[in-house]
Amino acid sequence: MKGKEQNPALEPVKVEKEGPIAILTLQNPPYNVLTSRVLDALAEAAVAMTDDPQVRCIILTGSGDKAFSSGANIKEMAGMTLEEAVRYSAKGQALTNLLERSPVPVIAAIRGFCLGGGCEISLACDFIVAASDAVFAQPEINIGVLPGWGGSRRLTRAIGVARARHWILTGEKVPAEVALRDGLVDRVVPPAKLLEEAKSLAKVLASKGSTAIAAAKYAVNYASDATRLLGLEYERDLWGVLFQTEDQKEGMKAFLEKREPRFQGRTTWGSREQQYPWKEQWAAYEEAKKEIGVDHPDYLMRPWMELWEKSGRDLLGSVLDLSVSTATTYQEWVDRAWKMAMGPARAAKGNP
């Protein structure tokens, strides 16, 4: 989770195409920090490649040999208010949703550090191919917050409750071989062969029927976590509220000052009862349904096959004409796309 600014001389995301394979490379050396500019560019590239009829698989990787990405820009986040933090979380969640929900399979090719927001982006991909020097972590706890871009949901789904709890509550760095053992990584390869191995897998996926691949992807997501959308708002609420705490301010300040944080310890929980969203699960469930705009839980689980209809393709294309300068743009697109995709199913059920 380094805090260096974007190098203005570089395009934040390099896009290359090799036949049916698109390669998206994060370019903010040396650690490919996820500034807002990088997030904007990655969202645009992901949508453009998903909508490109020639692209059958996407590889996402980082420039250089130090990091896939060391995470979000701490300097950018440190002074955020609750409202700003919630919008920032929504921006990251919508980007990871774009990757997870793309009907095109996405492979993360990881070398070096894959931390914080970088790890959350890799979790939204369908496969992770890791170099033997890759290191994973969700270290947000060390700066007084928690994963805010879907990491608490996706990591738990990928490696199980016990291991995810250890990763998130300790913030420890995890080498590639341990991530493979935990079930996060698909394969570990020598660093020099990372892109070659990712391309080899991409060629296999690209050789399959695109509609069948999309259906299989959605079916696996449904089988592994049918209610995967429901935890995201809860995570976002928790993330935002943490930006009202002294521990968040101290943690991020200490990070920027390159020193150990001095956390103050537990406060009086009763005084924060109304402030913290320790919500009943049913309440969170109802809020998530309301946010997506559906009236029955079945509609949360249906795949996005309708996005391949003309209206869906037009909607995917139209996002390129939207401004991506605000934190809500991605989430608005996700909500609109979801409602459009659900339209035929809802109409068939007699819902408006």
Written as tens digits, the pLDDT of the chain (352 aa) is 544 445 556 899 999 999 999 999 999 999 999 998 898 899 889 888 988 889 999 999 999 999 999 999 999 888 888 888 888 888 888 888 888 888 899 999 999 999 999 999 999 999 999 999 999 999 999 999 999 999 998 999 999 999 999 999 999 999 999 999 999 999 999 999 999 999 999 999 999 988 888 888 878 877 776 565 556 777 777 777 788 788 888 889 989 998 998 887 655 444 444 444 444 444 544 554 454 444 443 333 333 334 334 444 444 443 333 333 333 444 555 555 545 544 544 555 555 4
As given in the structure block, the two tokens for residue 338 are 């979801």
Q: How many domains does the chain have?
A: 1
Beta strands 106-110 and 113-115, pairing class: unpaired
Q: Is 291 assigned a catalytic role?
A: no
Q: Is 246 assigned a catalytic role?
A: no
Residue 350: phi and psi, rounded to 5, are: 85, 15
- Considering only CA atoms, which of 124, 118, 108 is closest in space to residue 157? 124
Q: Are 157 and 225 in contact (CB under 8 A)?
A: yes
Q: What CA–CA distance (Å, rounded) separates 343 from 351? A: 9
Q: What CA–CA distance (Å, rounded) separates 218 from 239? A: 28
- The pLDDT of residue 84: 85
Omega prior to 190 cis, within 30 of 0: no
Q: Which one is catalytic: 84, 140, 177, 332?
A: 140
Amino acid at 158: A
- The pLDDT of residue 6: 52
DSSP class of residue 305?
Answer: G
Gyration radius (Cα) of the chain, Å: 20
Predicted TM-score (pTM) of the model is 0.74
Q: What CA–CA distance (Å, rounded) separates 228 from 288? A: 11
- The pLDDT of residue 118: 97
CATH number for 347: 3.90.226.10
DSSP class of residue 6?
Answer: P
Buried b (16+ CB within 10 A) or exposed e, 253-275: bbbeeeeebeeeeeeeeeeeeee
Q: What CA–CA distance (Å, rounded) separates 214 from 220? A: 10
As given in the structure block, the two tokens for residue 301 are 């689980």
- The pLDDT of residue 316: 40
Q: Which one is catalytic: 5, 120, 197, 280?
A: 120
Structural domain that includes position 306: 1-352
As given in the structure block, the two tokens for residue 24 are 């998206």
